[in-house]
Structure 1
Amino acid sequence: MGDGPVAVLANPTAGRGRYRNLLPAVLDRLSTAGRPVRLIEARTAAQALAGCHAAVADGVAALVAVGGDGTAHLALQAVAGTPVGFGPVPVGTGNDFAVETGFPAEPLAAADVITEALRDGRARPVDLARLTGTGEPPRWYGAVLAAGFDAIVNERANRMRWPRGPIRYDLAILVELARLRPRSYTLRLDGVAHEIEAVLVAIGNCASYGGGMRICPAADPTDGQLDVVVAGAVGRGTLVRIKPQVYRGTHVDHPRVRTYRARTVELAATERIVCYADGERIGPLPVTVEAVPGAARLLR
């Protein structure tokens, strides 16, 4: 980590605006680390991404993301594979990457941890997942890629214009539950192919997604491996019964749920399925995901 300033990316709408007035306090804390603090001005995701890349190119020592998993996801695109330190301040509806990599769930406590690491010049390596095959430049994610029922629900919710707010997602779940059926996938793990019928496929660098759903409960973002969880050809009733167990991670004990571990995962489907990573829309399968050890340097 160099001697440059600290850049801060903030999402004022994260957590549905609950922490809108928190940013000044976060900036005050970061300023006590003895480095200049620079706020990245951005109104859109594209501007945020461009701002993060520009900050890294300009020689910042660290990038801090004040928001949820979506904000962290944008920042990771710029810091991955660089010596720039990264710190997430979790203020979103989903803060899985921050929490799973050891940051406090309370935003100001996380800011204090980041500030102390900046003051000490300390950063710890953590793995990221590198995603290719979408026809776009490589994409990085920190938590989980979803390519089954949860991704299909996200895609449905994003297409809906009514209703607004969280109830839209709930309605999308009901619609897709009514349409639930197994899809055919080819899952290639370190070159070994598996033909599977599944309603849910998740590829985890970390254990949880969706605000604490421990879909890949054994995933460790420091082991150089990806965890893959597959729910096979189950019906609506079984899926509804299994879903609450995901918060405890006990769903993997169900006989129709299988788990795998690999350094490189290739996933394809016989029909169009759009995948999501860190809650962000990535694009349709097929994709290749590779665990990259030490791809980011966390300020903790």
Structure 2
Amino acid sequence: MSAPRSFTFLVNPHSGGGAAPEAVVPVARLLRDAGASVDVTYSPGPRATDALVLAAVERGDVVVSVGGDGMVSHLAGAVSEAGGILGVLPAGRGNDFARMLGLPSEPAEIAEHFLHTAVREVDLLEWAPPGGPTRLVAGSVYSGIDARAAALVDRMRWTPQKLQYPVAAVRAIATYQPGRFRVSVDGQAQEYAAALVVVAGSAYYGKGMKVAPGAIVDDGLLDVIVVEAASRTALVRSFPKIYDGSHVELPEVTCLRGARIELNADGRTPLQVGGDGEPLGELPPLGAAPAVVQVRPGALRVIG
């Protein structure tokens, strides 16, 4: 019989309103009871976390992300580049990457999953702004209403978690101005007056919104969803459709697919871009060198 897997849990203490440290305790106990080696460390910040990932991978540990999608996204890139294996213990507000992988949420099921589920290879997204450093993203990159909504969520302190994304989305719609986006998919370019553009490797974002229902995490392709400009009333009315993916049937929604996406955009103010719930900066204006999102097929080994 082979030895049990060993684990390094890296915990974002702020995820889920501070729920992440509490979530790790029963899972770590069950794994130790099963004979596994478990180390639990609270994330001390991105630079120090990269060093912890490298040390864990060199020991042969599975690196477990304990937090939300932002924590998963950062660790996914670090684990991928170190050649390790990632585990995900969902303990954030969104948990959309865990949702896409169909991961369990109860401690006993999570422990069983970590011990016995096979490792699979999934794609990552590489975000490369002109003149800036590249960043690996696990789920999606987006600009427009959704980037503004994500920024509003980050500032919410008293709104119940299950209401944060819907409330933020409605607030973002209420104040949005459409941008002019240039979207190039594998060299084929088109311009859109749009409310939002999403480049997705995973179907879900925003705590269960099925924004890219056709996305598959290991097909070597990215799904691009463009929601063209509409009235605020029309956007609010159609907003619930995004939860089951039926928004893609609306005439103002365009779905594209490719491996390399180039993005530029102009708006009344610079258009923000986000990835997995975290800000990534601004899209370069029309006429400038584009930002590039491209797929890295099978870049991440994950228990899932």
TM-score bracket for this pair, using the shorter chain length: 0.7 to 0.9
- CA separation of 1:81 and 1:288: change in aligned 2, threshold 3 A: same
| Structure 2 gaps, min length 5 | 285-290
Look up the SS of the partner of 1:281 in the other structure. Answer: strand
Rounded Cα–Cα distance in structure 2 between residues aligned with 1:106 and 1:145 = 29
1:288 positional shift: 0.9
Give the length in aligned residue pairs.
291
> Is 1:39 equivalent to 2:32 in the alignment?
no
Q: Which residue of 2 aligns with 1:281?
A: 279
Rounded Cα–Cα distance in structure 1 between residues aligned with 2:48 and 2:130 = 21
- CA separation of 1:211 and 1:111: change in aligned 2, threshold 3 A: farther
Q: How does 1:124-135 map to 2 (within 5 A)?
A: 124-133=120-129, 135=131
1:82 positional shift: 4.5
Q: Which residue of 2 aligns with 1:14?
A: 15
Rounded Cα–Cα distance in structure 2 between residues aligned with 1:49 and 1:82 = 9
RMSD: 2.6
Q: Which residue of 2 aligns with 1:123?
A: 119
Rounded Cα–Cα distance in structure 2 between residues aligned with 1:30 and 1:135 = 44
Rounded Cα–Cα distance in structure 2 between residues aligned with 1:11 and 1:157 = 17
Q: Which residue of 2 aligns with 1:293?
A: 297
> Is 1:64 equivalent to 2:64 in the alignment?
yes
1:255 positional shift: 0.6
Rounded Cα–Cα distance in structure 2 between residues aligned with 1:176 and 1:31 = 45
Kindly provide the amino acid, as one letter, of the partner of residue 139 in structure 2.
Answer: A
Q: Deviations over 1:243-292 (max 9, x none)?
A: 11111100001111110000111111124212111111111114211111
| Structure 1 gaps, min length 5 | none
The farther-off stretch of 98-107 and 226-235 is 98-107
Q: Tell me the TM-score normalised to structure 1 length.
A: 0.86
Kindly provide the amino acid, as one letter, of the partner of residue 106 in structure 1.
Answer: E
> Is 1:196 equivalent to 2:192 in the alignment?
yes
Q: Deviations over 1:151-192 (max 9, x none)?
A: 02333565x6xx733378777555533332220011010111
Counting aligned pairs with the same residue, the percent is 33
Query: Quick one: which of 249, 253, 258 aligns to 1:257?
Result: 253
Q: Which residue of 2 aligns with 1:76?
A: 76
1:4 positional shift: 8.5
The farther-off stretch of 99-108 and 66-75 is 99-108
Q: Which residue of 1 aligns with 2:109?
A: 109
Rounded Cα–Cα distance in structure 2 between residues aligned with 1:189 and 1:33 = 48
- CA separation of 1:299 and 1:277: change in aligned 2, threshold 3 A: same
Look up the SS of the partner of 2:22 in the other structure. Answer: coil
Native 8 Å contact 1:142 1:278 kept in 2: yes
Rounded Cα–Cα distance in structure 2 between residues aligned with 1:211 and 1:43 = 25
Native 8 Å contact 1:6 1:62 kept in 2: yes
Q: Tell me the TM-score normalised to structure 2 length.
A: 0.85
Native 8 Å contact 1:153 1:172 kept in 2: yes
Rounded Cα–Cα distance in structure 1 between residues aligned with 2:241 and 2:138 = 23
The farther-off stretch of 27-36 and 140-149 is 27-36
Q: Which residue of 1 aligns with 2:236?
A: 240
Native 8 Å contact 2:184 2:262 kept in 1: yes
Look up the SS of the partner of 1:21 in the other structure. Answer: helix
Q: Which residue of 2 aligns with 1:55?
A: 56
Q: Which residue of 1 aligns with 2:178?
A: 182
The farther-off stretch of 131-140 and 173-182 is 173-182
Rounded Cα–Cα distance in structure 1 between residues aligned with 2:170 and 2:239 = 14
Rounded Cα–Cα distance in structure 2 between residues aligned with 1:76 and 1:229 = 23
